[in-house]
Amino acid sequence: MNRTNGLYLVIGALVVVVIGLGAYVYHEKQKPEGVELSIGKDGLAIEKK
């Protein structure tokens, strides 16, 4: 029984990692491309994406 529980734990951890990585990649692809302007205490920042 203990060996089976460990296997389920490893498979569950891998599933969580794959889902998290997929969500991260999806979020990165959804970022708009172009120019990003930000105003902070150091002044105006312009960054090309």
Specify the pLDDT at position 26: 94
Position 16 pLDDT exceeds 80: yes
Specify the pLDDT at position 12: 96
Domain extents for the chain? 2-48
Q: Cα–chain-centroid distance for residue 5?
A: 29
> Cα–Cα distance between 14 and 19 in angstroms, integer?
9
CB 45 within 8 A of CB 37: yes
Residue pointed to by tokens 């999806």: 26
Please give the model's pTM, rounded to 2 decimal places.
0.60
Specify the pLDDT at position 15: 97
Q: Average pLDDT in the 6-21 region?
A: 96
> Cα–Cα distance between 27 and 29 in angstroms, integer?
5
Position 19 pLDDT exceeds 80: yes
